[in-house]
Amino acid sequence: MSGADDFFGPYQYPLWVLWLVLGLVGLALVVGWYVFVFRFSARRLPPAQRAALAASRPADLADTKAKYLALIDEVETAATSGRLNDRGVHSRLSLLLRFFAHETNGVDTHVMTLADLRESNLPRLAGAVEQYYPPAFRLEEPGDTARAVATARDLVSSWG
């Protein structure tokens, strides 16, 4: 049988502290990765639960309308002063209307494609955004800025 002289503690091996530290760092990285994945991975709710959540959020419609009408006025002012071209006007108005619908209804309209908007139960929003698409995406098709602003104002004013 072997005696007490056969046992060698870790301090006798070269660089044992380095290997211990590397092992602990590796373990910390694995634990950190799991924390990151579980904390920051987005879990999307089913549409019915998102609609219920949106309905439970109280939104002051009058204040939201006033805010977005002021933003539409800013776009119109930028267009008349020449700081924003027709393409920029149509792009911004499309984005403003999408965010307005998102704030008032809670529907993720700001990330929907035009096809998704057509399938949603927001036909007026889909029609307005569809009107903005050709001038926003085709250089050779200029849009009517006054008509675009009027459409946006009408949609926001009559919402709800």
Q: Which string of DSSP letters, residue by residue, matches 83-146?
A: SS-HHHHHHHHHHHHHHHHHHHH---GGG--HHHHHHTT-HHHHHHHHHHHHHHH-TTS---HH
Q: What are phi and psi of 71, to 5 degrees?
A: -65, -35
Q: Compute how many other C-beta atoms are within 10 angstroms of the C-beta atom of residue 75.
A: 22
Say what the pTM is.
0.61
Residues 110, 112: Cα–Cα separation, whole Å: 6
- How do residues 66-90 score in pLDDT, each as one tens digit? 999 999 999 999 989 989 888 888 8
Give pLDDT, residue 21.
92
Categorize the per-residue pLDDT at 14 as very low, low, confident or very high, splitting at 50, 70 and 90.
Answer: confident
- Kindly state the DSSP code that residue 15 receives in the 8-state scheme: T
Q: What confidence category does residue 111 fall into, taking pLDDT thresholds of 50, 70 and 90?
A: confident
